Structure 1
Amino acid sequence: MAAHRNKKKWSDLTPAQRAAVLVAGSVQLSLAATAWVDLARRPAAQVQGSKAKWAAIIAINFIGPIAYFTRGRKTAS
């Protein structure tokens, strides 16, 4: 199990690395929460595809919420 030896524990990280992990996690959670709230409030007619599909896609780290905001919402005509 060579891969197990390379895993770092939280206590092994430097303060800068810990801060970076916390910032990245906060950004991810904020993006996902904002996307899910928008999806929940947006009428199905204003969403490209099914709302259930987009709800699952949003759960994919960083890529999901960004994809929803760029491709999942229909623009006002």
Structure 2
Amino acid sequence: MMRLLRRVLEREVSVGAVLETIIWSSLPYLIIGVVVIGLRAEHLHHMQTLYGSRDQLLSFGVLVAGWPGVLIADVCMY
């Protein structure tokens, strides 16, 4: 087992390949977040904005990143 782990860790990988892997693996999470927040748009209406559309975009991004919390909050409210 350790020999396999060493062999995997000894491989040289470029920074670009690591970043590409991170981006591709985060896309399903973000797509699910957009769908969940799109179906629960009332959460966006509850957000108070100070500076117009910039804060609404930031609020949308925070809700998309934290979509599991939105689902848990929905379950706990009912």
- TM-score of the superposed pair, with normalisation by structure 2: 0.44
Higher helix share: 2
Larger Rg: 2
